[in-house]
Amino acid sequence: MAVTVNIDLGYEFEVKAKFADVFEVLSDVPESVSHFPKVDKLTDMGDGVYKWEMEKVGTAQVNIQTVYASKYASNKAKGTVTWTPVPGVGNALVGGHWKLKDNKKSTGVELKITGEITLPLPGLMKMVVAPVVESEFEKLVDKYIANLIKRFGGEA
């Protein structure tokens, strides 16, 4: 038995840093991920594919760990960094993109994340577990964005 939780998040914000500086950080996966909270391990699997292993959450008896791999591609001319899920690695499929807009003195940033996390729990648990997982994921992404905004000198 398993419970599948869908994630669909979107954010837009503007930072004081120059486009080139923002793109450099976000297109460098290990550098970008270093700002994401509760990542236990990031593994470069080659060919633009990175495996994420999040810290375990829960109690000693019941804990959940999210593990997944995504393939990254960046295009400076378009101001995009995209990632697509790699099936068959871990218990989640995560994709999304960064889209950057050069506003000369600042950079507009759009983040979109979609995902599907499968947890080894009875189906009856979905009503209880899904909101908790969604909320936890959202908190991590909020902290990630706050860390990046700080890295880029604050919001414009």
CATH assignment at residue 93: 3.30.530.20
- On whether residue 39 sits in a domain, the answer given is yes
Give the pLDDT score at 12. Answer: 98
Reported as a single tens digit per residue, the pLDDT across 56-109 is: 877 666 677 899 999 999 999 999 999 999 999 999 999 999 999 999 999 999
- On whether residue 111 sits in a domain, the answer given is yes
Q: Which structural domain range is residue 64 located in?
A: 3-151
pLDDT (average), residues 38-55: 97
* CA nearest neighbour of 18 among 84, 140, 132, 103: 103
CA 106 vs CA 11, 13, 83, 85: distances in Å = 17, 10, 24, 31
- With bands split at pLDDT 50, 70 and 90, how would you rate the model's confidence at 17? very high
Structure tokens given for 139: 């908190």
- On whether residue 85 sits in a domain, the answer given is yes
Strands annotated E in 16-154: 39-46, 49-54, 57-58, 63-64, 67-75, 80-85, 92-102, 107-119
Give the pLDDT score at 55. Answer: 93
Give the pLDDT score at 132. Answer: 85
- On whether residue 131 sits in a domain, the answer given is yes
Structural domains in the chain (count): 1
- On whether residue 65 sits in a domain, the answer given is yes
- On whether residue 156 sits in a domain, the answer given is no
* CA nearest neighbour of 101 among 87, 92, 111: 111
Structure tokens given for 95: 């994709």
pTM listed for this prediction: 0.93
- On whether residue 15 sits in a domain, the answer given is yes
